[in-house]
Amino acid sequence: MRFFIDTASLDQIKEAKDLGILDGVTTNPSLMAKEGISGEANVANHYQAICEIVDGDVSAEVISTDFESIIEEGQKLAALAPNIVVKVPMIRDGVKALARFAEMGIRTNCTLIFSAGQGLLAAKAGATYVSPFVGRIDDINWNGMDLISDLAEIYAVQGFETEILAASIRSALHIVEAAKAGADIVTCPLKPILGLLKHPLTDIGLEKFLADHRNVAGG
């Protein structure tokens, strides 16, 4: 399974890269706004800065919602760097754009996926990735992880090449569950990734190893 970081923060991206496990980046308009990035030129510059740090895929989301504008905006984003993937919302014109981008050889990530039907349609339209939002489904007391399993089953049975990019991942446990459910990639902030390395018995065990070593060395 690949690990993407879900942020527009250059510092967090660098920190994840430094950990040696970073395969890519996803962003969205809310994450760009959180970094105070706005305006077409600033947004373009910021994506280029991200692509200079990361070799893997970087999802750049369109803010257009009609077909022609999605295509125009997506082409501009895709031209910024070879590793840009155009992120398109699961709306009627978005699905149409996914199919057109596929014909054009532009890779896509269909976002705001909340049902197996939406994921099926995005794959049929030729999306490179789909982003099912696990945490936001959990937020309404449904089981977000069931959607990952359903999509993994559907894509395997039907032979779709679309990859499942589990998004809205909020915890280390979510990452582990997404791996078991068949996600190809997880995307999340740095904190859940760092949460994976924590276990109290590891800390206690290491403390004892080092204390035993010190005792012999000192004695």
Which residues are designated catalytic? 87
Query: Does 168 sit near ligand G3P (CB under 6 A)?
Result: yes
**Nearer to ligand G3P (CB atom), residue 33 or residue 79:** 33
- Alpha helix (H) residue ranges in the chain: 10-18, 29-34, 40-53, 67-78, 92-104, 116-124, 134-139, 144-158, 172-181, 190-195, 200-218
Q: Supply φ then ψ for residue 32, to 5 degrees.
A: -65, -45
- Residue 178 has which token pair? 């997404």
Query: Does 167 sit near ligand G3P (CB under 6 A)?
Result: yes
Binding window for ligand G3P (CB under 6 A); candidates: 9-17, 37-45, 167-175, 192-200: 167-175
**Nearer to ligand G3P (CB atom), residue 67 or residue 195:** 195
Query: By three-state DSSP, how is residue 26 classified?
Result: strand
Measured from the Cβ of residue 130, the count of other Cβ atoms closer than 10 Å reads 30
Residue 30 CB, nearest approach to ligand G3P (Å): 7
Binding window for ligand G3P (CB under 6 A); candidates: 101-109, 133-141, 197-205, 210-218: 133-141
Residue 168 CB, nearest approach to ligand G3P (Å): 3
CB crowding 17-41: b at 16 or more within 10 Å, else e: beeeebbbbbbbeebbeebebeeee
* DSSP bridge pairs for 133: 167
Query: Does 136 sit near ligand G3P (CB under 6 A)?
Result: yes
Q: How far apart are CA 78 and CA 104, in angstroms?
A: 11
**Nearer to ligand G3P (CB atom), residue 35 or residue 216:** 35
Q: How far apart are CA 17 and CA 14, in angstroms?
A: 5
Binding window for ligand G3P (CB under 6 A); candidates: 47-55, 130-138, 153-161, 198-206: 130-138
Residue 188 CB, nearest approach to ligand G3P (Å): 8
Per-residue contact track with ligand G3P, 7 to 46, x per CB under 6 A? Answer: -------------------x-x------------------
Residue 87 CB, nearest approach to ligand G3P (Å): 9
- Residue 7 has which token pair? 């942020």
> Which letter does DSSP use for residue 159 in this model?
T
Contact residues toward ligand G3P (CB under 6 A) are 6, 26, 28, 131, 133, 135-136, 167-168, 170, 187
